[in-house]
Structures are given as C-alpha cells and as structure tokens.
A and B are shown apart, each in its own frame.
Chain A
Amino acid sequence: MREKKRWNLMPYVWLLPSIALISVFVVFPIAIVFKLSFSEISKAGVVGEFIGLRNYTEAVNLPAFKTVMANTFWWVISVVGLSTLFGFAIALVLNEKFAGRKIARSILIFPWATSLVIQASVWNYIIKYEYGSLNSVLLNLGIIREAINWRSTYQIEFVWECACGIFVTVPFVAFCVLSGLQSIDRSLYESATVDGAGFLSKLIHITLPLVRPALSVSTVLNIIYVFNSFPIIFTMTKGAPANKTDTMITFLYMLSFYDRKKGPAIALSVIGFLILCLCAGIYMVTVMRKEDAA
C-alpha cells in the first residue's frame, strides 16, 4: 500500500519509450493524413491550401469507386469467412491425437511464415496459362487433356486472389482455434459421450461455446489484416483491368503512386482509416469484455 504514492511517475517513465515510438511513427502519420485530406495537393505532392471536402467528393466520384468498394467487401467477407471455416476444421483435426501430428502442424505453419509477395508470386506462376505449374501437373497426371486458361476473366482472377488470401490466412485461424481447443477440459467430452451425445451435438454444445473467445479474436484480427492486405492483389493483377480487381488498399496505392492523384488517394486513406476504426472499436469491446470476464 505504501507504493500507492509512488505510482504517479514511475509507470509512465517505463511506458515512455513505447509511447514515443508509437506516437511519432503511427499517430503522427495519422494526423498528417487527416490534415492533408482537407488540403489541395499537387501531382508532385506539394501541399496547397485548405479546400474542405473536395478531395472526398472527388474520391467518391471516381468511376472505379463503387467497384473497388464492392471488391473490398467481397474480398474481406470471402477470405475471412472461408478461412475461418477451413481453419476451424483443420484445428479440430489437429486437436486429435494421431501419428505425424507434429509434422502436420509444422507444415501448416509454412504459409503463415512466408512473405505474402513470395506466396503471391508462386501462385501467379502456378496458374499461368501457357506454362503454369497447375496445368503442367494436371496434363502430366492425365486429369485434363488440354491446358486450361485459369485466368480467362477478371472475375476468375479475383477468385484466385481470394483463394490465395484464404490459403495464407487459414494457418493463423487454425492455430488460434487450436489454442482455444487445447484449453478445453477433456472430461467434458467424456461425460457428454456417457450421456450419449454424438459428434455434432458435442461440437455445438461444448466446442463452439468454449472456443468462441479465441474464434472472435482471430476473426476480428483477420478482418483487419485482410482489409489491409496489399501484396497478393498487387502482385497477381495490380488491379487490372481498369481497377476491376482492386481492393481499397491497392486502389489508393495505385492512385497515389502511379496515377499521381494524391488528393483523392488521401481522402480514401481517411475513409479506410475510419472503417478500420470501426473494426478496432468492435475488437476493443470484445477484448475488454473478455478481460472483465477473466
């Protein structure tokens, strides 16, 4: 209790380096982005005077805006949704005891550890029409008779991008859920088996409620990571043709560094930032509630 009076300064000194680092390199850029979004910016990046919301209206009125927002929506929903589904299934299996489980876990960690640019480059090669590995393997196995154009339309290319996104996201979900599963008391299942519960009712009444915290943390984090994901789309299509496969993040990058339309790009940054704030808010509530419960 004597320490109570000595609180006032010491903890803050301990926090200072961290706060300084985050403030300068995260918070300060946020402030810059906000300020710039209301200013006129030339193509070379010279900041002009205050122009109110003109950057925002310009951004919203860009011809590609609607497509890009829809793409972003589908990108996040499909990648997060399907990778959660697959990740959950894989975690359930990895939670069983079987020979080679350690090896399987190690293999599954590969996509998580690999840089997204490298992942995307490899998939880019795999699905090439003329000489891609997938066609070559299928032809040589005799499963197909002629090479298939795996990326004939931009919709299909976008599906491939989502598939690649799912591929790299599944391990994260699987390991989060696995950590939740491993904390479940085995005796719960045993007594449920005695009571005559089948696989499905055990899943619904025991597993799901108990891994829900782990699942919700991984889902919200995933929404944020996937929304922010840049390298897959940038490497595989660069948003081509005509922004048809862009998500918000790649779109604002192209806008700002290729098309030199800094004004609308910055306005889009702020819009993206606000969307993320919303997700972050939900996340905070989830985490805090869990903290209170613990």
Chain B
Amino acid sequence: MNSSSGRRGNLISLIFIMVGLALTVLVMALPAYTFTASVYTKKSSNTFVGDEKYTQVLSEVEEIAEGYRAQGMDVEISENVTERTNSKGEKTSLVAFSISESFKKSILSFICSALPSGTVLGVMLVLMASSLLLSLLGFFGSRNETGRSLKRRPAVLRTIASLCLLISTLLVPVFVLMNNYLFWRKVSLFTGDLITEGRDVFFAKLDGFLFGGKMGEGIGDALKNLNMSFHPIVFLMILTLAVAGIASIQLRYGAIKKKLLRVLLYAFVAVVCVITLYPYYVMLITAFRSNAETLDMYFLHLLPTKWRWSNLSDIVSRGVPRFLLNSLMIAGGATLLAMLCGIPAAYAMARMNFKGKKFFLGFVIMSQMFSPVVLLIGISQLMNALHLNDTILGLVFINAAFNQAFAIWLLRGTFVAIPSEMEQAAKIDGCGTIGSLVRVLLPMAAPGIVTTLIFVFINAWNEYTISTVLISTASNRPITVGITQFSSFNMIEWQYLFAASLLATIPVVALFMVIEKHLTSGLTSGGVKG
C-alpha cells in the first residue's frame, strides 16, 4: 500500500464513520414504532347506523373520549358494523364503537422503558456509537501517517471498535428474540391470564412505557388489541450497522482479511451443517415424543419433555421388525445377486478384449437410465407371468437388475486401477483365470468391492416405488413401505413414523460413512478410466 492510497482509504473510512454517527443519532431520536391500543369498546346490539339508539350510544362514547382527551391522550373513535340476517329473515345489526389511542415511540423511549428488549437495544446502540467514536479517534490518531505504519494506539482503538461492532451486530438477533418473544408472547400470555406470576410488575412497566401510567388497572384490557407497526426508520438502523461495519472493515481490511475469510468459511459450513442436520434432529426428537406433543405447536423444548422409549416397543408390536427383516433380505439378496453377476462382467470388461465391448458398456449404461417407475406396468406384468408378484424374491431380482449398471461401473473402475501383472504371475504359477481372479484380484480389489457392495445394499434398502406396487401382503413389506402404515389420510402417527424411520436410517447412514471416501473417487473417474 503506498501513502496516497492509504490516505484515500482513511478518508473513505472517515466519511463512513461520520455517516454512521449521523445515522445513529437520527435513529435514536426519530419515532420508530407506532402502537395502536383500544382503550375502550362498547357494543350496541339491534342498532342501525343513523337511528336513535345509534346517536345515543355515539354521544355516550364521545363523552368518554372527551374524558380521555382531558387526560391528554390522543384518541380516536372508530365503529365497526356487523349486519346479519337471522333465521326469521329479519335484518339485525351490531355496532361496536371503540376508542383507540395511537402513539409514536422513539427508540430512545423504548430504551428508557426498562423493558428487557429496550435494554438490549440500548446496549446495542451504545456499542455501535462507541465503535464509531473509537474509529474516529483512531482516524485522528493516524491522520498524518501512511496506512503501512499505523501507530500501536490507533490500531488498538480500531480493533476495539471492530469488536464493539461485532458484539452489537450479534445483539440484533437477541433483540429480535426479546422483542418478539419476551414482549409480544409475554403480552399475549399475560392478557390471556396464562401467566399470573409477576403480572402486576410487568403491566406497570408496560403502562409506564405505552401510556405514561395513565391506564392503571385497565392496562390488561387495553393491551388486548395492541398493535405495533414499524417505521422505515428501523431499516435505517440496519443501514447504520452496515455503514459502521464497512468503515471498520475498511480500516483494518489488510490485517483481518485472512481471518475474515476464515470466519466466513466456518459460518458457511456451520449453516450448511445445521440445515442438513435439521430434519434428522426433527426425526430424532419426534420419535420419542408423545402423540399429543407431536401435534403441539407451542412445544417449547429442544428435547422431548420425557423420552418415551415406549414408542419403540409400540412399533415393534406393529410389525416393524418384520419390515426391517424383509428389507435386510431384499437388500442382502439383491446385493449378493448383483455382485455374482457383476464381478465376472466387470472382470471381462477390465481385462479382456472382445468384439462388442463398447456395445455392452452402452447396454449397461442404458439400463441405468431407466428408473423402474417408467417400466412399472411392464414389470408388474412380468412378475405376474413369473409368479413373483408380491414376493420378496421378485424384489431381489428387480433391485439386482437395476443396480447392475452401477455395480459393473464401480467394479470395473476398481479392477482397471489394479495392475494385471500379479494375475499374470499367478497364471504362470498354474492358477486358471478363475483361480487368479479369486486368489489375486479380489483380495486386492477388496476396498472397491466393499464400496460397491454397500452402495448396492443401500440403494436396495432405500427402494420404495417398486415395492409399493409389487407388494400387497403386509408381512412382505420392506421398511420403506412399512412406515407408510403409520400415516393415513385422517391421522398420522408421527412419533411412530419417525421412530421406524430412525431405525431404517441409522444403519444405512453408518454404512454410507464407511464408504464415503472411496465413493467420491469411484463415481466420476473410476467408471470411465481405462
């Protein structure tokens, strides 16, 4: 960095800092929220707009409104007319008058209100402002220096400024949580009499903040129709944060670039992992909750309140072990068959030269293209003809056939990667082709074979579509079809569905982790090399 660009960088930072400070002051002072609360409601039945009763009630309401105005409140009268035709065909009308007060509150008053979210907001703004001020001090401390040789004191100031900013940024979600959860949920729980403890203190605080203590005992009713709307000014606050952030990063960019990228990398990985694991977390906790808890939106706990291991024994009595056994038989049988057919074919493809090799490769790859679903009707006809409909054996054949391509694909890649000298040596020593395959090649190719084996197993284990069509007897169902018995149109027993899903998922995920490393190399390169 040369001196002129260093100065220009500092100048840009200065501008950002000034703008950030100005925005902070603006945000604090301007009204940020508008609250609307109805302080009084009167319903008058059998009243039509404009009739005698109407005028009478209206004047009563206006009198009360005057009373409020005398207290210095800015109130408004609104009416809501509901017209209905009753069973006798007569028209009825209900007029509801309400006196509502709307008032604007700035962030500053929110901070002074002693409500928890206000405190957080205050801390946030103070941190932000001090961050900007520190940056400013840092700027003047290094005004006459080039960017390269900052004195130690300004550098420390700027680091502290960045830290303040980071903390205040991290407080944004805390504020949102406080505002939504501790403010609004609490208001609705208190007004709904769902929380009785600390009620008066909470209401007194709110009364002080919203109405300046004028509502007194009536605060509970007033809060029932409380509404809040944000002013665009709140977005200014976000803008301020962004501006301050840029200023701070701008100042220290060269020094923190690497660390910043690292932080971003970890943040990205963390987000991806959280999103990926979220469904598994849901599956896990739901599997051990009671039916009532699975249907409760206000379930507040990260974990089940009581781990119901009885869910597991319940699904055992509803056929799940049988389904798991069926899946094991189907996947195991299909894997065995696919390997028995696939190993010789892959061997021939890797080690022999013959006419039609390319054609066979094409044939195999083509067979991989077609999901069984497109061929479902053909397959079910074929199964009828072979008397394999509704049998586990039928699924073994189908799964083996549809995984043949992948098996040959992966195995061939493994075989090709192993030099053929060893086999030739074995042949010279008197082993036949089969002998050299079994004694030399297969042991050397063991990792690749295990990978293929597990992959085919997992595919067959997870297969769903063909099984739903071919299997109608309950006792022949694999687990993927079996779990659907817990969900019918009118009722889904989520806890059983997920408990069974959990049992079906754990083994395959574990197996997949075993082969993860080999799979990446085999998938794209192994199959086509050679």
The answer to whether A and B belong to the same complex is yes
CA A117 – CA B375 in complex, angstroms? Answer: 20
**B461's closest neighbor in chain A, by CB?**
A115
Instruction: Provide the B517-530 mask, 1 if CB < 8 A to any CB of A, else 0.
Output: 00111011100111
Answer yes or no: A122 CB below 8 A from chain B CBs: yes
Quick one: which of A10, A29, A104, A106 has the most chain B CB within 10 A? A29
Find out whether the CB atom of B508 lies under 8 angstroms from the CB atom of A114. yes
Answer yes or no: A141 CB below 8 A from chain B CBs: yes
Chain A hits for B110, CB < 8 A: none
> Interface-forming stretch among B152-160, B305-313, B341-349, B442-450?
B341-349
> Interface-forming stretch among B133-141, B202-210, B357-365?
B357-365
Q: A28 touches which one: B340, B382, B494, B504 (CB < 8 A)?
A: B382
> Interface-forming stretch among B10-18, B22-30, B398-406?
B398-406
Given contacts A17-B345, A142-B176, A228-B371, contact A116 B524 (CB under 8 A): no
Given contacts A100-B269, A122-B501, contact A17 B344 (CB under 8 A): yes
Find out whether the CB atom of B402 lies under 8 angstroms from the CB atom of A25. yes
Answer yes or no: B35 CB below 8 A from chain A CBs: no
Answer yes or no: A73 CB below 8 A from chain B CBs: no
Given contacts A175-B523, A262-B377, contact A18 B282 (CB under 8 A): no
Answer yes or no: B109 CB below 8 A from chain A CBs: no
250-280 of chain A: CB within 8 A of chain B: 252-253, 256-257, 262, 265-266, 269, 272-273, 276-277, 279-280
CA A27 – CA B367 in complex, angstroms? Answer: 8
Find out whether the CB atom of A18 lies under 8 angstroms from the CB atom of B295. no
CA A207 – CA B467 in complex, angstroms? Answer: 42
Given contacts A21-B400, A125-B494, contact A283 B369 (CB under 8 A): yes
CB proximity of B146 to chain A, nearest CB, Å: 23
Find out whether the CB atom of B369 lies under 8 angstroms from the CB atom of A104. no
Answer yes or no: A194 CB below 8 A from chain B CBs: no
Find out whether the CB atom of B528 lies under 8 angstroms from the CB atom of A110. no
**A33's closest neighbor in chain B, by CB?**
B378
Find out whether the CB atom of B345 lies under 8 angstroms from the CB atom of A18. yes
Answer yes or no: A123 CB below 8 A from chain B CBs: yes
Answer yes or no: B243 CB below 8 A from chain A CBs: no
CA A52 – CA B196 in complex, angstroms? Answer: 77
CB proximity of B342 to chain A, nearest CB, Å: 6
CA A273 – CA B377 in complex, angstroms? Answer: 13
Answer yes or no: B474 CB below 8 A from chain A CBs: no
Answer yes or no: B253 CB below 8 A from chain A CBs: no
Find out whether the CB atom of A287 lies under 8 angstroms from the CB atom of B516. no
Answer yes or no: A224 CB below 8 A from chain B CBs: yes
Given contacts A115-B505, A118-B483, contact A140 B381 (CB under 8 A): no
CA A32 – CA B381 in complex, angstroms? Answer: 8
Given contacts A113-B508, A136-B298, contact A18 B501 (CB under 8 A): no
Answer yes or no: A179 CB below 8 A from chain B CBs: yes
Find out whether the CB atom of A93 lies under 8 angstroms from the CB atom of B268. yes
CA A228 – CA B358 in complex, angstroms? Answer: 26
Find out whether the CB atom of B352 lies under 8 angstroms from the CB atom of A176. no
Given contacts A28-B382, A142-B179, contact A113 B511 (CB under 8 A): yes
Given contacts A131-B297, A283-B365, contact A107 B277 (CB under 8 A): yes
Chain B hits for A76, CB < 8 A: none
Find out whether the CB atom of A213 lies under 8 angstroms from the CB atom of B524. yes
CA A7 – CA B401 in complex, angstroms? Answer: 26
> Interface-forming stretch among B36-44, B86-94, B180-188?
B180-188
Answer yes or no: B80 CB below 8 A from chain A CBs: no
Find out whether the CB atom of A21 lies under 8 angstroms from the CB atom of B483. no
Quick one: which of B178, B398, B462, B530 has the most chain A CB within 10 A? B462
Answer yes or no: B498 CB below 8 A from chain A CBs: yes
Q: A121 touches which one: B352, B374, B497 (CB < 8 A)?
A: B497
CB proximity of A230 to chain B, nearest CB, Å: 5
Answer yes or no: B335 CB below 8 A from chain A CBs: no
Answer yes or no: B235 CB below 8 A from chain A CBs: no
CB proximity of B463 to chain A, nearest CB, Å: 8
Chain A hits for B378, CB < 8 A: 28-33, 36, 269
Answer yes or no: B465 CB below 8 A from chain A CBs: yes
CA A135 – CA B298 in complex, angstroms? Answer: 9
Find out whether the CB atom of B487 lies under 8 angstroms from the CB atom of A121. yes
Find out whether the CB atom of B180 lies under 8 angstroms from the CB atom of A144. yes
Answer yes or no: A206 CB below 8 A from chain B CBs: no
Answer yes or no: B33 CB below 8 A from chain A CBs: no
Instruction: Provide the A66-78 mask, 1 if CB < 8 A to any CB of B, else 0.
Output: 0000000000000
Chain A hits for B299, CB < 8 A: 131, 136
CB proximity of B302 to chain A, nearest CB, Å: 9
Answer yes or no: A153 CB below 8 A from chain B CBs: no
Find out whether the CB atom of B365 lies under 8 angstroms from the CB atom of A18. no
CA A178 – CA B371 in complex, angstroms? Answer: 26
**A28's closest neighbor in chain B, by CB?**
B382
Answer yes or no: A195 CB below 8 A from chain B CBs: no
**B382's closest neighbor in chain A, by CB?**
A29
Answer yes or no: B376 CB below 8 A from chain A CBs: yes
Given contacts A112-B512, A136-B299, contact A214 B382 (CB under 8 A): no
Instruction: Provide the B368-409 mask, 1 if CB < 8 A to any CB of A, else 0.
Output: 111101111111011000000000000001101110110010
Chain A hits for B347, CB < 8 A: 14
Instruction: Provide the B205-238 mask, 1 if CB < 8 A to any CB of A, else 0.
Output: 0000000000000000000000000000000000
Answer yes or no: B337 CB below 8 A from chain A CBs: yes
Q: A21 touches which one: B341, B369, B464, B494 (CB < 8 A)?
A: B341
Give 7 new A-B contacts, CB below 8 A, not counting A118-B283, A142-B185, A180-B524. A18-B344, A29-B379, A114-B505, A117-B483, A214-B525, A224-B371, A225-B371
Could you jot down 30 A-B contacts, CB within 8 Å? A7-B352, A10-B433, A12-B354, A15-B348, A18-B341, A18-B344, A30-B370, A32-B381, A33-B375, A36-B378, A93-B265, A98-B266, A104-B269, A111-B276, A114-B462, A115-B501, A116-B462, A117-B464, A121-B501, A122-B279, A122-B283, A131-B294, A133-B286, A178-B520, A214-B524, A214-B525, A231-B465, A253-B373, A284-B365, A294-B528
Q: 9 closest pairs, A vs B, by CB?
A: A228-B371, A142-B181, A29-B378, A25-B401, A142-B180, A113-B512, A18-B345, A14-B348, A32-B378
Point out residues on A near B: beta carbons under 8 Å.
Answer: 7-8, 10-12, 14-15, 17-22, 24-33, 36, 45, 90, 93, 96, 98, 100, 104-119, 121-123, 125-126, 130-133, 135-136, 139-145, 147, 167, 175-176, 178-180, 182-183, 213-214, 217-218, 224-225, 227-231, 249, 252-253, 256-257, 262, 265-266, 269, 272-273, 276-277, 279-280, 283-284, 287-288, 290-291, 294
